[in-house]
Chains A and B, each alone.
Chain A
C-alpha cells in the first residue's frame, strides 16, 4: 500500500510532524566540502550545513511530497554549531498554513538538538505547497 501524498489539507497547524536523527559524520562533511571547499574549519560544522541537516530532516519527515514545492522564506537561529561526530535530532512542526489567492503556503518550525537534548539551532520555513 502506498502512502498518500501530503497535500495542503493534510496539515494542521500545531502538529508535530515527526523527528529525524542523523550522525554528523566525516562523509557528510566531505560532501559539503566538495561543493564549498572554502568552508573547511576543522571539526566544527560549517554554518551552511545547518540547512543540510534541516532539509534532510524535512525530506525524511515530510514525505511523500508533491513535486514542485517552492521554498519561499527561511529563518535560522544558531545557538551553537555541532561538531563532527555529534548525533543530531531534528523535530518538525507545522505552525501555520494560509491560502493567498490560489497559493498554498505552509509554515514549519524545526528544532535541532544533540543526543543529550542540548539545543544547537532552530529554523522556520515557508513553503509554497504544490498540491
Chain B
C-alpha cells in the first residue's frame, strides 16, 4: 500500500506559460498580457491552472507506472493563482481504500515554493495499480 504519491516539481516561468498557451490555444490575456492582467483582481499574470495540474498526473505515474491513469478520476479546485517563476510541487496522501479491492483515494495537492496550496482535491484510482 503506497501511503504517499511521489512528488513532482516544475518551475513555471514565462516561457512555460506561453508554451502552454500555444499548446492549448488558450491565449486568455490574464495569462499572456502583463498590462491587462495587472488591471484584473489577480493583479498580474497568472499561469494556466491546468499547467500545474499535470504535476498530479506525473505524481500518479511516478508512483504507479504508465497505466495508472486508466480508470482514474481527478476532482480538484484551483485555490490560489500560480505566478510567473513560482516553483510548484505536486504530491498526495492516501485517505481511503475500497470498496473495490485495490481501489484508493488520495488527497492530492500542488503547492508553491512557500508551501501554499494552489490546487487541492481528490484522486481516485482503480484496483490493481
Contacts and interface: CB of A to CB of B under 8 A. Distances in A.
Interface string A24-56: 000010011011101101001011100110011
Interface residues of B, number: 36
A34 B23 CA distance: 10
Contacts of B58: 36, 38-39, 48
A67 B29 contact: yes
Contacts, number: 100
B50 A51 contact: yes
Contacts of B25: 55-56, 59-60
Contacts of A72: 77-78
B58 to A, nearest CB: 7
Contacts of B70: 78-81
Interface residues of A, number: 36
A55 B66 contact: no
Contacts of A41: 61, 66
Given A71-B49, A73-B77, A47 B69 contact: yes
